[in-house]
Amino acid sequence: MSLKDTSKFLSLILRHKPQAVGLELDEHGWADVDELIRRVSRKRPLDRATLEQIVATDEKQRYSFSADGQLIRANQGHSIPVDVELAELEPPKILYHGTGERFAASIRAQGLIRKSRLYVHLSSDVETAINVGRRHGKPKIFIVESGRMFADGCKFFRSVNGVWLTEHVPAQYLKESF
């Protein structure tokens, strides 16, 4: 089993379905590291060294250990109700959202909606948005007038890995890039 496959499985467990391995997350999304390893190992090989390697090398910095290294959680992207303790922050004036071209018409009509996730994910640079968009086919980039949204009372948060989060981006705050 590759590290990438194991990382994807951890993402499923820590963001969406902890019950798939009989794991419980606390209200902030934390799981006991030893318990996670024990339960995941029933389905696929996992030890502490491999888990540490996944956390350290994950390109998107999806995971964090607690200060004492005893707990682990996904930084964002949850579809289950957890509070990852993000402070509200003023965003840059412009953020970006990458998606597949096939979703553009729906976004134009509805804005960006979180669907099954807790937040809409936004990037601070175009390159990251393009890479996200490629995962969904031909990329389509939307420019988000986040500064104006914030001035109008919308809340923004920034995850540990730099992803900007908000609950909804109404269509009037969006411009198409390409």
**Domain containing residue 49: CATH number:** 1.10.10.970
The per-residue pLDDT for 1 is 73
For 31, counting Cβ atoms within 10 Å of its Cβ (0-12 exposed, 13-18 middle, 19+ buried), the class is buried
Question: Residue 81 falls within a domain, yes or no?
Answer: no
Residues 170 and 103 occupy one common structural domain = yes
Residues 60 and 13 occupy one common structural domain = yes
Question: Residue 84 falls within a domain, yes or no?
Answer: no
Confidence of residue 84 (pLDDT cuts 50, 70, 90): confident
Question: Residue 82 falls within a domain, yes or no?
Answer: no
Question: Residue 90 falls within a domain, yes or no?
Answer: no
Q: Please say if the pLDDT value at position 143 is more than 90.
A: yes
Question: Residue 79 falls within a domain, yes or no?
Answer: no
> What is the signed CA dihedral for 28, 34, 38, 41, rounded to 10 degrees?
90
**Domain containing residue 100: CATH number:** 3.20.170.30
Residues 39 and 111 occupy one common structural domain = no
Tell me the per-residue pLDDT of 128-141, one tens digit each, with 9 for 90 and over: 999 999 999 999 99
Question: Residue 156 falls within a domain, yes or no?
Answer: yes
Q: How far apart are CA 84 and CA 28, in angstroms?
A: 5
What residue numbers bound the domain in which 166 lies? Answer: 95-176
pTM across the whole model: 0.76
Q: The tokens of 79 are what?
A: 């579809």
Residues 148 and 104 occupy one common structural domain = yes
Tell me the per-residue pLDDT of 88-120, one tens digit each, with 9 for 90 and over: 999 999 999 999 999 999 999 999 999 888 899
Question: Residue 53 falls within a domain, yes or no?
Answer: yes
Tell me the per-residue pLDDT of 1-56, one tens digit each, with 9 for 90 and over: 788 899 999 999 999 999 999 999 999 999 999 999 999 999 899 999 999 999 99
The per-residue pLDDT for 178 is 67
Residues 28 and 60 occupy one common structural domain = yes
The CA distances from residue 82 to 119, 121, 157, in Å, are 11, 16, 14
Question: Residue 80 falls within a domain, yes or no?
Answer: no
Q: What total number of domains does the chain contain? A: 2
